[in-house]
Amino acid sequence: MADLDDAKAALHNYLREAREGLIWKLDGLSEREARLPRTETGTNLLGILKHCLNVEAGYFGPTFGREFPTPGELVPTEAFEQDPQADWYAREDETKDGLIDLYRRVAAFADETIERLPLGAPGLVPWWRPENQAVTLHRVIIHVTCDLARHAGHADILREQHDAAVGLGRENSNIPDGYDWPAYVTRLTKLADHFGEG
């Protein structure tokens, strides 16, 4: 358990929780189910994970002068010139388990950066506008955690739409046990209908 009174430990803990939440949303899904587009813009659960692992590799790597040991496994910058969505889907030669394994290795790499450096350690985000490139580890942890948390929320909704699997995490769903969800939805629908068509 992280010492949540220590700022760095607390920030690192929330980053880890967001990361694990993303990985958990792929539990039990087939390759097709993990890849299937579930929104009008093609958002899919495995694509969210792939995007987030590339985000972590970039922000906790080159930003602080480090390179992931096997950079060929990541989406190269030049890939975005051909396809701006290159990190949002798994290619045919990639697998769900393979990308989860890659994410766990990227996570260990990111954790190493966080553990080695003080919160005030300076970094440079090369893909940001020149006037905004200078950052600290503190800012990057917050930035990446917010990004991952946003995408974990996307994953929550996509997974619920797929098979009604809901919850914060494996050990703590943060959802009331035995709740009558159909009755709840009916009640909320009636409340919404009270206001008529928008």
Is the per-residue pLDDT at 16 higher than 80? yes
Which of 175, 134, 171, 131 has its CA nearest to residue 156?
A: 175
- 28 or 197, higher pLDDT: 28
The domain spanning residue 96 has which CATH number? 1.20.120.450
Is position 123 within any domain? Answer: yes
**pLDDT the model gives residue 4:** 63
With H, G, I as helix, E, B as strand and everything else as coil, classify residue 173.
Answer: coil
How many domains does the chain fold into? 1
pLDDT in tens, 142-161: 999 999 999 999 999 999 89
Range of the structural domain that residue 126 is part of: 7-193
60/50 Cα distance (integer angstroms): 16
Query: What percentage of the chain exceeds 90 in pLDDT?
Result: 83
Matching residue, tokens 């009636």: 190
Is position 42 within any domain? Answer: yes
Averaged over 24-41, what is the pLDDT? 96
Is position 172 within any domain? Answer: yes
pTM passes above 0.75: yes
What are the CA-CA distances from residue 35 to residues 47, 98, 148, 168 (Å)? 7, 13, 19, 21
**pLDDT the model gives residue 198:** 63
With H, G, I as helix, E, B as strand and everything else as coil, classify residue 59.
Answer: helix
